[in-house]
Amino acid sequence: MEVASMPTLSPWRVPLSLRLILYGLGIVYEATMIGVGVAASLVAKARDNRALHVLGLGFLLIGIGDLMHTLGHVAMDLAPLLWSAYAFEAISTALSITLATAFFTTLRLYVSLTGRGRFGPLDRVLMCFPAATAVLAFMWAGAALLPVFCALVPYRACLAASVILMVAVGYVSCFSLLGAVRKGVLLSSPGADQKQSWLAWGSVLMALAVTFVLIHPFVVHAPLAMFVITTLKILMLMSSGLLVGLSLMAPGGSHRPPQPSI
């Protein structure tokens, strides 16, 4: 089936040469996040560390989700008139938003489990966000794929709401991690000061990357600005993932002092 008369899912007007650069960077970033997730899971199993296992799962989820999103864009470039490519991009976009929300949730859960060994009320609320994001994101994807629902479903509002939920969880998690770093909750070992610095930078870079997600809608008609912002977002996410993941996997990277919740 062709989709020549159907609108594109997003005004992706960056020239092909620049899109290829973004795809390459994206695949490197996604491989990095998946690699950190696998490594964190293995370290967590060796240490019997529940908190690190949760965080490792989060890294795997965002790496897989963003990889599918990249492949969705590639599919539309390769076969822009095929309905199957259009459908894949829509579904992969919804999946990416959902799994990114799940990743940020696991980051907050890691902080809580490491800081006090249990979940608090805020954690339980945040656990509902990935499901809520999934409902909204896939409602948008369904409306995009079945135009008959466009009149029934406020699909643009659904997409915007799903992204806002993801960003909200992202900010909460990044600032929770930064707060834990400042209180010295997470690390206690030789060289902890250096790791604390890495974690702090990782938190800040991740928060900046989340901010760039909010800027995206305002530059969709400016190809160069879109390219620059997307590049910065990818680089910041990859750098923050490495800084956070490697710091917490290092010896002494999971410390549970007798301190109250942050």
First CA to last CA across the chain, in angstroms? 53
pLDDT in tens, 139-175: 999 888 887 776 666 888 899 999 999 999 999 999 9
Per-residue pLDDT, 4:
40
Check pLDDT > 80 for residue 6: no
Alpha-carbon distance of 158 to 156, in angstroms, equals: 5
Which pLDDT does position 256 carry in this prediction?
Answer: 47
Q: Which two tokens stand for residue 45?
A: 């199993």
Q: What is the DSSP string of 141-191?
A: HHHHH-GGGTTTS-HHHHHHHHHHHHHHHHHHHHHHHHHHHHHT-S--STT
Residue 259 has pLDDT above 90, yes or no: no
Which pLDDT value is given to residue 228?
Answer: 94
pLDDT in tens, 201-239: 999 999 999 999 989 878 878 889 999 999 999 999 999
Class of domain 16-249: mainly alpha
245-260 mean pLDDT: 65
Q: Residue 12 and residue 27: Cα distance in Å, rounded?
A: 18
Do 180 and 115 contact (CB within 8 A), yes or no?
yes
Written as six digits, the tokens of 244 are: 């956070």
pLDDT value at residue 183: 84
